[in-house]
């Protein structure tokens, strides 16, 4: 965007504006005044007729629709083809070609003027700006023949979210400046008294917001991906962007005009702005400089640095960035060009003015001094180069990427909302799915905790903390510390092991200072490191989440990794995690016969007909508590996985028994729903199948078909029965029923499970 005049109102004699004598200017001015005339005449008539004024005021109270109607009435007929051509400097019209070549641009310039006019008509909060950005978006889409649906589609909603995010970034510097003036007002009285602050103060700030708003990402969201892709290849794309920005500032200037002299000067600045849109090819690298922090880019799943500057001008074709760390070898790789996302590409195809040229992914680069240069290309093959600029990459390898060697995040470690997920396979009647994981018992935490590259920002320490619930801000809430590592900044060897651990190493098991640590034969701690750490470093093998038995830490938590450098700067990474230390409950019984009684087949084979099941009910409990009863009962809070029942003849094979179920694939050998209820919860102590709560509810776990034991009838059951499982008629033997219950919680000791047994003596007393 061309530099905006500081004062966009009357500030000099009219004779000092040569544009006024331009015949094209005079025609455009007459058209603009003609647009004002009907509105002014209507207002003048109301001024002469107070009764009519009162009547209209009572029948038509102010509303937003009237505001837009007034804007359309003022500017709807102003921007004709003839007026548009006269706005463009005569010497540059041939460069644009016939109007039909750039009519797509002209169609939404009216929206740009109206947006600037409406948003500047009065003091607006950020929320108010958001409303007018919404109306601007609707206007542009309508003008391009791709109106926003009602309600908007998911893609359109995402585009609008991008626009509001861009607005927030554009608006923030303005708020920061205002806050700084409020916090430190000491010099303001002198500036007012000596004339540095006058009635024109701050008029250029609004145009600066507009310029920061129209980023490449915002342009794509404003036009729509398809329209942006098509139009960004147009050789007049840069000019259209510049024209729109000039038009927004023009509309803003008109909104603040106090009289027609101000209106005239607004038009003067509009002409000057459009003339500056024909600036020659521009190449300018503005940043970064100094020691620059790497930033995690969630959209690109990488870390890196934003490269800023300007690549624009009439006839713009594309630009290419290159980096070097020795000023000998230059690389055009690692740059992600706008729009981001998706980024990537081998060149920048969209002009950028004072904004992000590319996001440089630094994952394969070394921290330290880095150089960047740029070449801008015109459509006719001419080029303009700039740079190199230099900066120092400050590496922040600060992330939690795994728990217990599980690195299955659904996005990436830079996303504070990333979830550890697991694939739950299809089982019995259950369909497969991907769900958030939970972890229990003592767990390891893996990731990277290292910062360096700038001399003043070497690593000093890191720590791990947790708090209940899910938060994305590392400074929100009360954190509970459970792990610390302190390094000696004066030790030149401290970075040797660190350079080898910019990966997914265990943060709480194998990390420690390189020297001067000595083995301590009387732990804890097993190592003592000094002299800067007189208390020694803790070296637990894992984080015992089972503290505070019997339930331990159970629920949704947030882990926080904090790294501190030698200058006291803090770097964070947070990770949500479900912890589950509520063990499943398993209990099995045979209630069809009294305890300790012998089970005779004749009691159930009535008559001993091989075509009819001989059902022995197995009842009990297969239960897993919800992790947190205050949260929705969905996975992973509802963490029940499966149960199964097996039976073994003494000295023989195990046979798995079908569980209740219906549908394709029967019989089912795995139950995927809870059975019964122990009533007592983990807060009352662990589930003991031999000492259940008196009010515990038993349910049917399985119905064992005793035909499976009889050599004559075993072939009638729908599953294979090994020979050493059979019980010949006239014989008795001991059998053991085994119930296994597990949930989906992950921990290093194997499945999070419970089991119960029920021994019984069975006699095959059938005749024959």
Most confident of 508-522, 673-687, 727-741: 727-741
Is 140 found in the same domain as 95? yes
User: Residue 504: pLDDT band by 50, 70, 90 thresholds?
Assistant: low
> How confident is the model over 754-765, as pLDDT tens digits?
999 999 999 999
Is 95 found in the same domain as 60? yes
Number of DSSP helices (H) and strands (E) in the chain, helices first: 15, 30
Within a domain: 3: no
> How confident is the model over 36-89, as pLDDT tens digits?
998 888 888 888 998 888 888 888 777 888 888 889 988 988 999 999 999 999
What pLDDT is attached to residue 327?
A: 95
Give the other-Cβ count within 10 Å of 389's Cβ: 19
> How confident is the model over 107-140, as pLDDT tens digits?
899 999 999 999 999 888 999 999 999 999 999 9
Is 368 found in the same domain as 428? no
Is 466 found in the same domain as 344? no
Which of 534, 562, 579 is the last residue before a domain boundary?
579
Is 364 found in the same domain as 231? no
Q: Please identify which residue in the block is written with the tokens 């009910």.
A: 617
Closest CA to 676 of 658, 664, 689, 663: 689
What pLDDT is attached to residue 280?
A: 87
Share of the chain above pLDDT 90, in %: 53
Within a domain: 68: yes
- What is the residue-averaged pLDDT of the chain? 86
Is 500 found in the same domain as 538? yes
User: Which residue range is the domain that position 174 belongs to?
Assistant: 14-276
Q: What is the C-alpha radius of gyration for the chain, rounded to an integer number of angstroms?
A: 37
> How confident is the model over 395-437, as pLDDT tens digits?
877 888 888 888 899 988 888 999 999 999 988 778 899 999 9
Is 714 found in the same domain as 698? yes
What pLDDT is attached to residue 765?
A: 95
- What is the pTM (predicted TM-score) of this model? 0.60
Please tell me whether residue 285 adopts helix, strand or coil conformation: strand
Per the DSSP assignment, residues forming a β-bridge with 739 are: 645, 756
Is 305 found in the same domain as 157? no
**If you average pLDDT over residues 190-201, what whole number do you get?**
85
Is 224 found in the same domain as 124? yes
Statement: residue 438 has pLDDT above 50? yes
Domain total in the chain: 4
Is 620 found in the same domain as 603? yes
**If you average pLDDT over residues 236-265, what whole number do you get?**
91
Would you state the structure tokens that stand for residue 235, as one six-digit string? 């050789």
Q: What is the CATH classification number for the domain harbouring 313?
A: 2.60.40
Helices (H), 405-520: 495-499
What pLDDT is attached to residue 461?
A: 84
Give the other-Cβ count within 10 Å of 663's Cβ: 8
Closest CA to 692 of 766, 588, 601: 588
Which of 276, 297, 317 is the last residue before a domain boundary?
276
Within a domain: 243: yes
Within a domain: 7: no
User: Residue 320: pLDDT band by 50, 70, 90 thresholds?
Assistant: very high
User: Residue 753: pLDDT band by 50, 70, 90 thresholds?
Assistant: very high
N-terminal to C-terminal alpha carbon distance within the chain: 102
Rounded Cα distance, 312 and 94, in Å: 19
Within a domain: 2: no
Is 687 found in the same domain as 632? yes
8 A C-beta contact, residue 215 and residue 163: no
Would you state the structure tokens that stand for residue 636, as one six-digit string? 């992973």
**If you average pLDDT over residues 588-599, what whole number do you get?**
88
State the pairing for strand pair 316-324/570-579: unpaired
Is 322 found in the same domain as 205? no
Rounded Cα distance, 536 and 565, in Å: 19
What pLDDT is attached to residue 507?
A: 62
State the pairing for strand pair 654-657/445-452: unpaired
Within a domain: 166: yes
Which residues are CB-contacts of 356 (< 8 A; sequence separation ≥ 6)?
215, 216, 306, 307, 308, 338, 340
């Amino acid at each position: 965007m061309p530099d905006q005049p500081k004062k966009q109102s009357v500030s000099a004699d009219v004779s000092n504006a040569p544009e006024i004598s331009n015949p094209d200017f005079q025609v455009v001015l007459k058209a603009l005044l003609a647009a004002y005339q009907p509105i002014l005449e209507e207002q003048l008539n109301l001024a002469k007729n107070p009764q009519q004024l009162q009547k209209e005021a009572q029948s038509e109270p102010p509303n937003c629709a009237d505001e837009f109607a007034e804007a359309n009435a003022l500017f709807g007929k102003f921007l004709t083809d003839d007026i548009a051509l006269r706005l463009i400097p005569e010497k540059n019209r041939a460069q644009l070609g016939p109007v039909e070549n750039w009519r797509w641009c002209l169609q939404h310039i009216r929206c740009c003027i109206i947006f600037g006019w409406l948003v500047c008509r009065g003091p607006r909060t950020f929320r108010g700006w958001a409303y007018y950005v919404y109306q601007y978006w609707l206007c542009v889409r309508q003008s391009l023949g791709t109106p926003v649906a009602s309600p908007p589609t998911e893609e359109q909603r995402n585009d609008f979210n991008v626009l509001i995010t861009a607005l927030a970034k554009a608006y923030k510097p303005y708020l920061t400046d205002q806050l700084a003036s409020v916090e430190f007002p000491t010099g303001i009285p002198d500036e007012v008294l000596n004339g540095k602050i006058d009635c024109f103060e701050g008029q250029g700030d609004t145009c600066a917001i507009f310029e920061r708003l129209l980023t490449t990402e915002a342009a794509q969201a404003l036009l729509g991906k398809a329209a942006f892709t098509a139009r960004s290849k147009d050789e007049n794309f840069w000019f259209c962007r510049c024209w729109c920005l000039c038009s927004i500032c023009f509309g803003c200037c008109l909104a603040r005009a106090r009289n027609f002299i101000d209106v005239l000067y607004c038009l003067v600045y509009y002409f000057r702005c459009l003339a500056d849109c024909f600036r020659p090819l521009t190449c300018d690298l503005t940043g970064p400089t100094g020691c620059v922090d790497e930033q995690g880019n969630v959209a690109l799943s990488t870390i890196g640095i934003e490269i800023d500057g300007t690549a624009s001008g009439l006839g713009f074709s594309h630009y290419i960035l290159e980096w070097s760390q020795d000023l000998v070898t230059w690389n055009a790789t690692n740059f992600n060009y706008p729009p981001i996302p998706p980024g990537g590409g081998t060149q920048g195809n969209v002009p950028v003015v004072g904004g992000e040229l590319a996001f440089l992914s630094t994952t394969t680069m070394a921290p330290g001094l880095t150089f960047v240069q740029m070449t801008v290309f015109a459509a006719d093959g001419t080029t303009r180069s700039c740079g190199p600029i230099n900066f120092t990459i400050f590496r922040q390898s600060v992330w939690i990427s795994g728990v217990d060697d599980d690195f299955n995040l659904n996005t990436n470690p830079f996303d504070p909302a990333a979830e550890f997920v697991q694939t739950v396979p299809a089982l019995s009647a259950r369909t497969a799915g991907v769900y958030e994981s939970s972890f229990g018992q003592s767990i390891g935490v893996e990731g990277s905790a290292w910062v360096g590259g700038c001399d003043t920002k070497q690593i000093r320490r890191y720590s791990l903390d947790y708090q209940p619930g899910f938060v994305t801000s590392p400074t929100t809430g009360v954190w509970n510390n459970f792990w610390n590592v302190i390094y000696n900044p004066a030790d030149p060897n401290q970075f040797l092991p660190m350079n080898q651990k910019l990966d997914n190493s265990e943060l709480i098991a194998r990390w420690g200072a390189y020297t001067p640590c000595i083995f301590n034969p009387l732990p804890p701690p097993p190592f003592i490191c000094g002299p800067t750490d007189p208390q020694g470093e803790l070296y637990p093998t894992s984080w015992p989440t089972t503290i505070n038995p019997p339930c331990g830490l159970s629920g949704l938590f947030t882990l926080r990794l904090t790294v501190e450098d030698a200058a006291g700067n803090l770097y964070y990474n947070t990770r949500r995690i479900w912890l589950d230390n509520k063990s499943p409950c398993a209990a099995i019984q045979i209630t069809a016969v009294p305890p300790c009684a012998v089970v005779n087949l004749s009691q159930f084979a009535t008559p001993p007909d091989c075509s009819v099941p001989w059902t022995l009910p197995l009842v009990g409990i297969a239960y897993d508590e919800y992790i947190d009863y205050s949260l929705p009962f969905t996975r992973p809070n509802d963490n029940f996985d499966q149960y199964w029942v097996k039976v073994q003849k003494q000295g023989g094979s195990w046979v798995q028994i079908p569980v209740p179920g219906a549908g394709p694939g029967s019989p089912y050998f795995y139950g995927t729903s809870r059975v019964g209820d122990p009533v007592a919860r983990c807060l009352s102590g662990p589930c003991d199948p031999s000492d259940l709560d008196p009010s515990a509810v038993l349910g049917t776990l399985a119905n064992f078909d005793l035909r499976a034991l009889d050599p004559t009838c075993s072939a009638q059951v729908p599953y294979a029965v090994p020979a050493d499982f059979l019980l010949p008629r006239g014989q008795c033997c001991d059998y053991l029923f085994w119930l296994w219950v597990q949930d989906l919680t992950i921990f290093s000791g194997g499945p999070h499970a419970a089991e119960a047994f029920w021994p019984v003596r069975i006699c095959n007393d059938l005749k024959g």
